[in-house]
Amino acid sequence: MARISNAPVFVVLQDRNFQYLWAARWCHEISRRMELIVLGYLVFELTDSAFQVGLISVFLNVPRPPLSLVAGMLADRLDRWRILATIHTFYLVLASCLLALLILDLVEPWHVFLIVLAQGTAKVLDDPTRRASLFDLAGQDRIAQAMSLETMTNNGGKILGPIAGGLLLEFYGFTGAFMVLVALDLVSALLILRVRLPARSTLIGRTTFLTGIRSGIAHSFSNKFVLGVLTISLVMNGMVLPVQYFIPVIATDVLRVGPALGGLLGAADGIGAFAGAMVIATRRRFSFHGRYFAFGAIIVAVGVATVAWSPWFLVSFLVLFTAGVGQSGFSTMQSTILMLSTAPEMRGRIMGSQGLVNGLGHFIGGVEIGAIAQFFTISVAIGFNAGVGLLLMLPVMLLTPLVKRPVEFYQPGS
């Protein structure tokens, strides 16, 4: 028992502030993943258009390209606790507004897109602030374990959120589902208010704002590990991962199942990723972080390309589960490599760069996949994109040191 309690992942969890931040993340991720499946069905019911379902991804991610680098700089300069507390309160207000529209039977597609746009704007600042705060609490030696716990919350939410959303839709409709969403956002905001971060998380650099942003961009291009991660992340988020937004379309038009099974399908990759993240969390040391990242990306791309053509629910579920196992390596090591390769005062900006490529990818993918699905089929759209994404990633893996060498940790003075 003593050996288990001394494992790095359990040492991280002994910190009370990490516990509050982690618990808040659990509630928010369940809420967010519920919301994606519920809004997907809502827009599909209101419009009968796969293209407009894809617009959820567009409006959620369109703020990232212009704002992510600024958000990363703010995460480095401002009080991170105040940022997180404000953002989670804002999430609660937005969910309450949509619930009110549903109760009054006034909701229209443009209401959904406007609220999703506001959520996406808040999320631009939420992501780099939260991930930099995780490093503040865990430190360099345990950051991989902390990020594996972050991946567990992401994928725990992907399991519980779609399943709960599908069941709530099946039995209580859109209003009942959003009542639960509001309750989860309330709990998440209250937990964030209890977090206290180390003093170093509010460190303000002496560089000018514009100079700080330029230095973050320069680091993204000069460090080959960072460049490799960001390039593959752009491809994954543009060509492969937008499949999550189209689960309601796949369930309805391809597999011919209702919201309950559609929610279960939406949880499949989350179940696999959660299992993979648990394995990663128990490891003490990592030598080749990039191999987990790169090989995980390949597994996800192959899985999504396969599921696009499956007409059977069970096969689709198992393939997405396997893809989720790969995604645990990809997601955990994505932020881990970026932070290990970066100076402490620049980690918020590098998380902003990650947000930029993730958002740009989802923005492009949501429009492009939705448009192809509108003119052809959802299977053609998803299968074609995942296959092209796989081909684009392979040269990056060969030309950068991600797979060939251990990550070069940042050293003061380097």
- Cβ–Cβ < 8 Å for 213, 356: no
- Gyration radius from the chain CA atoms: 20
Query: What pLDDT sits at residue 203?
Result: 46
- Structural contact between residues 64 and 360, judged by C-beta atoms closer than 8 angstroms: yes
User: What does the DSSP assignment read for 214-225?
Assistant: HHHHHHHHH-HH
Q: What is the pLDDT of residue 101?
A: 95
For the segment 277-298, the average pLDDT, to the nearest whole number, is: 79
| pLDDT for the residue 57 | 80
Residue 198 covered by a domain: no
How much is the pLDDT for 4? Answer: 43
Q: Is 226 exposed, middle or buried (0-12, 13-18, 19+ CB in 10 A)?
A: buried
Look at residue 143 in the predicted model and tell me its pLDDT. 67
φ/ψ bin of 48: left (φ > 0), alpha (ψ from -120 to 50), beta (otherwise): left
Q: Is residue 392 part of a domain?
A: yes
Backbone angles phi, psi at 388, to 5 degrees: -65, -40
The residue segments making up the domain with residue 61 are 2-193+208-399
Answer for the pair 136, 226: CB distance below 8 angstroms, yes or no. no
Residue 192: Cβ within 10 Å count? 24
Strand ranges (E), 50-191: none
Query: What pLDDT sits at residue 1?
Result: 41
Q: Is 203 part of any domain?
A: no
The residues, any chain, with a CB within 8 Å of residue 50's CB and separated by 6 or more, are 44, 246, 249, 253, 370, 373, 374, 378
Residue 399 phi/psi, 5-degree rounding, is -95, -15
Q: What is the arithmetic mean of pLDDT over 400-404?
A: 82
Domain count, the chain: 1
Most confident of 9-18, 151-160, 172-181: 172-181
**Higher-confidence position of 143 and 47:** 47
Give the whole-angstrom CA distance, residue 185 versus residue 97: 13
State the average pLDDT over residues 389-397. Answer: 91
**Residue that has been written with the tokens 């939410």 in this structure:** 157
Residue 200 lies in a domain: no
Q: Is residue 409 part of a domain?
A: no
Least confident of 119-128, 229-238, 286-295: 286-295
Among residues 263, 298, 292, 295, the alpha carbon closest in space to that of 279 is found at 292
The more confident residue out of 269 and 72 is 269
Least confident of 135-144, 182-191, 208-217, 235-244: 208-217
User: 38 pLDDT exceeds 70?
Assistant: yes
**Residue 199 belongs to a domain:** no
Cβ proximity of 159 and 263 under 8 Å: no
CB 22 within 8 A of CB 149: yes
In-domain check, residue 242: yes
Q: What confidence score (pLDDT) does residue 141 get? A: 66
pLDDT tens per residue across span 85-111: 999 999 999 999 999 999 999 999 999
Mean pLDDT (whole number) for 404-410: 71
Count of beta carbons in the 10 Å neighbourhood of residue 311: 10
Q: What pLDDT was estimated at residue 67?
A: 80
**Residue 130 · residue 22 · CB < 8 Å:** no
Contact present, 296 and 200 (Cβ < 8 Å): no
CA angle 331, 336, 339 (to 5 degrees): 135
Query: What percent of the chain lies above the pLDDT cut of 90?
Result: 24
pLDDT for the residue 414:
47
Contact assessment for residue 85 and residue 125, using Cβ atoms and an 8 Å cutoff: no
Q: Which residue from 67, 130, 122 is spatially nearest to 94, judged by alpha carbons?
A: 122
- In the three-class reduction of DSSP (H, G, I as helix; E, B as strand; rest coil), residue 107 is classed as coil
pLDDT digit string (tens) for 243-267? Answer: 887 888 888 888 888 888 888 898 8
- Evaluate whether residue 383 is within a structural domain: yes
Buried residues in 371-387 as b, exposed as e (16+ CB within 10 A): ebbeeebbbebbbbbbb
pLDDT at 205 over 90: no
Helix 259-282 and helix 16-47, axial crossing angle in degrees, nearest 10: 150
Q: What is the pLDDT of residue 153?
A: 81
Among 28, 39, 133, smallest CA distance to 90 is for 28
75 pLDDT exceeds 60? yes
CATH number, domain of 255, equals 1.20.1250.20
Which tokens belong to 81? Answer: 């606790």
pLDDT at 201 over 50: no
Residue 76 in contact with residue 205, Cβ under 8 Å?
yes
